[in-house]
Structure 1
Amino acid sequence: MPVYMSKFLSAAVLSRQNCTATSVFLSRWKHAHCLFSTGSNYADLPMKRKKSERKPWVTSISELKRRARQERKEKQMVHEKILRPPENGLLVKELIPVAHEVYAARSELLACVSRVVRRIAVYVCSICSEVHIGYPPHKIQTCNVAGSLTSKEHSWKKGDLEHVLPVVESFHLYDRLGRAVSHNERLHVDRVPAIVELCVQAGFDIPEYPTRRRAFPAYCIAGRIIDFERRFPKIDAPDKDISTFGFWHKQEKSSENFSSNDSHNDDIEETAARGMDAWERLRSGASKLMQKYAVQTCGYCPDVQVGPKGHRVRNCQAYKHQMRDGQHAWQEATVDDLIPPVYVWHVQDLDSDRPLLNDLKMYYGMLPAVVELFAQAGAHVSDDYAGVIREDVTVPRLDEEMFVV
């Protein structure tokens, strides 16, 4: 055999061995964190979205294009399109009790969280705003933003309720079928929590935020909404109790007065159980409402607008906002956009004084901050979080990590 042929065969054999060794290494690395697992409910931990990355579409692009073509054809034909509630301005009667239940669940959830945070420490990073529940705060080096330390460790400070339950606001609409809020009207329209605005549009009445309730439906002719009802009937006429500039004279919301309602309950575990139930009812009820009542979100920033279309305020500072002149890239929202779950690292051993370490982060699970807060207070965690909580994974000690293959 020629010399060059023997060298070629030797190189091929060596390359095959290297590929085999590489594949074995990648396979071991991929499943290293599952070797101590006894279940099959493993799920990937939630990843932070890049600033240049758009939120995933709820409806596919092809379906959106098909709907747009259909709407253009209907506008060219002068005929009436039958609208059903709530597109015609009327309420969906079977969802009115759901709106009341969602509002009550939110009030109870705020009351429970405000009480539990007095017993369990909440920490927030002053640089990247990451949240940790429980003492001591973790040592995982994930602070990778402008101004962070070279070690990527977090700079912790005391957190509060707004870090566990961040509030997403939306412009309050007097008429959900009216025109969108313009840029010049941004200071003249109230901004309320988006979940509250969803409840108001679905049938829950709040005196501070009046809304138009139609007795007769609106019609769609040639793609335009035609309202034969008078613009401002006598029963809906603005009076002295309605402030045009409510943005500057906000009254104290009844939903925020939750501290006195729970003052006689000292059982922290019972409070956590009630809060966990309120969290589940809030999210499930919001999902039911969003199946009928449209909610829009920006594809690049957290802004949300409850209603069939987004507002026109040019305050987007996200990726390529210059190309949109500051306008938002509106798309269909999900429950996580309306009620964002702030994911935190899950602490399995509450009796240990050792913080979570960076070298063992692949063995740790995650939970929404609200769920982790109630879990540390003694509430039961639903099986829906079994994939990310990783309770069936045994966290090894640092001297045992070398034996995990």
Structure 2
Amino acid sequence: MMLLLLTSAVLRIFNAMSVSRIYAVPMAFRVHWRSYSSKIDLKKLRPMILERIENRAKDYPVPGMIPAAEEVLKARELLFQGVFTLLKRLPIVACKFCPKVYIGEKGHLIQTCHGYRRIGKNRVHEWVHGGLNDMLVPVEAFHLHNMFQGAIKHQQRFNFERVPAIVELCMEAGADVTHEILRSANGTFKAWETLRSGVKKLLMVYPAKVCKHCSEVHIGPSGHQALLCGVFRYESWRGSHYWMKAKVNEVVPPKMVWRRRPQYPKVLLNEDRDYYGHAPAVVDLCSKADAIVPSKYQCMMKVNGLPGPITRL
């Protein structure tokens, strides 16, 4: 009997302490717990989810964005033709072990090479003759039957064609890829600006994903499930991708290069790297072909910057 009385007294003290602790916490920070007895039947919800996805697909392509997609395709064709023509006049070199490029007959001596598969850092580049793909990075994606189709499984990866990501974005936006595109050797820089601004507009309406680890691009609301992380970027195998929202620089990589001004030495030195400017490879190529560069690039290119101490001697 004494044991029962002692036990009940301890329980009353414990309950009183618990209640006092609860009321000592301000009302705004109290957590209200709820218990739900009903269970969600996912099998019944699946048809509703699929129907909602199908209804969402009916809203695409957006009619107002079709002209923008057509303009991007034309700008892409003009850009490739213009860069191809300029490369016949101006030399370009590319690093043998990393993606860096330089516009000129000889590469620079700036130690920014990280080696094959990033096994090193701060090395001198080993320069070889470059080409069109070194200037305009070929970003590819799976070609989908429609934007809101089911996610591509790993075993289905060979059932879908790989196409340029910009072309896939424009096709899903309603552009006619069979349309005869105008060709020119003129307006390369304008085509570059039109291409990037057009892609920026399309990405505000049409979703795209990029892998955080290997920069694989997928045009659609959710990334594919193929275990190909790093395969198309010549990096180590990591399995499944880690998808994030893609931006313009993932779909149209700018490929930054060091820019040489007339007062600099013919071969840029590592000691004076703080005095050198940068520019997208296409912008620097067009500027060397006497194109007028907009003012928004002048700060990046250090047009009015001070020369290095070696060049002042």
Bin for the TM-score computed over the shorter chain:
0.7 to 0.9
Q: 1:308–1:279: structure 2 CA closer, same or farther, 3 Å change rule?
A: same
Residue 215 of structure 2 aligns to a residue in which SS?
coil
Instruction: Tell me the TM-score normalized by structure 1.
Output: 0.59
Tell me the CA shift for residue 153 of structure 1. Answer: 1.5
Kept in 2: contact 1:183–1:314 (CA 8 A): yes
Deviation of 1:142 (Å): 1.6
**8 Å contact from structure 2 (residues 68, 198) kept in 1:** yes
2:181 maps to 1:197? no
Q: Deviation string for 1:328-347 (max 9, x for gaps)?
A: 00110000000011000011
- Structure 2: gaps spanning 5 or more residues: 1-39
Opposite residue 277 of structure 1, the aligned amino acid is K
Structure 1 CA distance for aligned equivalents of residues 54 and 159 of structure 2: 31
Kept in 1: contact 2:92–2:129 (CA 8 A): yes
Q: Call closer, same or farther: CA 1:148–1:311 in 2, change over 3 Å.
A: closer
Give, in whole Å, the separation in 2 of the partners of 1:107 and 1:275.
10
Q: What does residue 286 of structure 1 align with?
A: 199
- The aligned counterpart of 1:110 is 80
For each residue in 1:235-262, what CA deviation from the matched residue of structure 2 results, as whole angstroms up to 9, or x when unmatched?
xxxxxxxxxxxxxxxxxxx87xx9xx44
Counterpart of 2:108, as a letter, is H
CA contact (8 A) 1:302 1:337 kept: yes
User: 2-side partners of 1:336 and 1:123: how far apart?
Assistant: 22
What is the distance in 2 between the residues matched to 1:86 and 1:375?
45
Number of equivalenced pairs: 266
Distance (Å, rounded) in 1 between the aligned partners of 2:128 and 2:237: 32
Q: How big is the shift at 1:395?
A: 1.1
Give the conservation status (yes or no) of the 8 Å contact 1:135–1:353: no
Q: Which runs of 5+ in 1 are unaligned?
A: 1-72, 209-253, 266-270
Q: Does 1:171 align with 2:142?
A: yes
Question: 1:282 Cα shift?
Answer: 0.4
User: Does the Cα contact within 8 Å between 2:275 and 2:307 map onto a contact in 1?
Assistant: yes
* Aligned counterparts of 1:309 and 1:207: Cα–Cα separation in 2: 27
Contact 1:86 1:292 in 2 (8 A): no
- AA at the equivalent of 1:112: G
CA contact (8 A) 2:229 2:241 kept: yes
1:346 aligns with 2:293: no
User: Whole-Å Cα distance in 1 between the matches of residues 267 and 55 of structure 2?
Assistant: 53
Letter of the aligned partner of 2:249 in structure 1? Answer: D
Q: Which residue of 2 aligns with 1:99?
A: 69
Q: Which residue of 2 aligns with 1:333?
A: 246
2:271 pairs, out of 359, 364, 371, with: 359
Residue 25 of structure 1: aligned partner: none
Q: Which amino acid aligns with 2:271?
A: D
1:136 to 88, 99, 106: 106
Shift, 1:135, TM fit: 2.7
Contact 2:94 2:127 in 1 (8 A): yes
Q: Does 1:181 align with 2:152?
A: yes
CA distance in 2, matches of 1:368, 1:320: 27
Structure 1 residues 187 and 383: CA distance shift in structure 2, 3 A: same
Which amino acid in 2 is paired with 1:137?
Answer: G
Indicate conservation of the 8 Å contact 2:57/2:147, yes or no: no
Which one has a bigger Cα radius of gyration? 2
Query: Is 1:312 matched with 2:225?
Result: yes
Output the CA distance in 1 between the equivalents of 2:122 and 2:142: 41
- Shift in Å at residue 82 of structure 1? 8.3
Post-superposition Cα deviations, 1:144-165, rounded to whole Å, max 9, x if no partner, equal 3259999822111100010000
Letter in 1 for 2:198: G
Q: How does 1:1-400 map to 2 (within 5 A)?
A: 87-145=57-115, 152-206=123-177, 261-262=183-184, 271=186, 274-317=187-230, 322=238, 326-349=239-262, 354-398=266-310
Measured after TM superposition, the shift of residue 89 of structure 1 is: 4.4
Higher helix share: 2
Change (3 A) 1:362 1:91: same
Query: Alignment identity in percent?
Result: 33
**SS state of the match for residue 94, structure 2?**
strand
In structure 2, what residue type is equivalent to 1:190? E
**Matching residue of 1:34:** none
The alpha carbon displacement at 1:382 in A equals 1.7
Partner of 2:6: none
Tell me which amino acid in the other structure corresponds to 1:343: M
Would the alpha carbon gap of residues 191 and 83 (structure 1) be closer, same or farther in structure 2, given more than 3 Å must change?
closer
How far does the alpha carbon of each residue in 1:288-346 deviate from its partner, in whole angstroms, 9 at most, with x for none?
11001000110111100001111111011399965xxx110011000000001100001
CA RMSD of the aligned region, Å?
A: 3.3
Say whether the 8 Å CA contact 1:170–1:306 is kept in structure 2: yes
Amino acid at match of 2:138: V
Between the aligned partners of 2:66 and 2:223, the Cα distance in structure 1 is 23
Please give the per-residue CA displacement for 1:38-82, whole angstroms capped at 9, x wherever unaligned: xxxxxxxxxxxxxxxxxxxxxxxxxxxxxxxxxxx9x9x978998
Give the Cα separation in 2 of the matches to 1:123 and 1:85.
50
Looking at structure 1, the residues matched to 84 and 52 of structure 2 have their Cα atoms a distance apart, in angstroms, of 46
Q: TM-score, normalised by structure 2?
A: 0.76
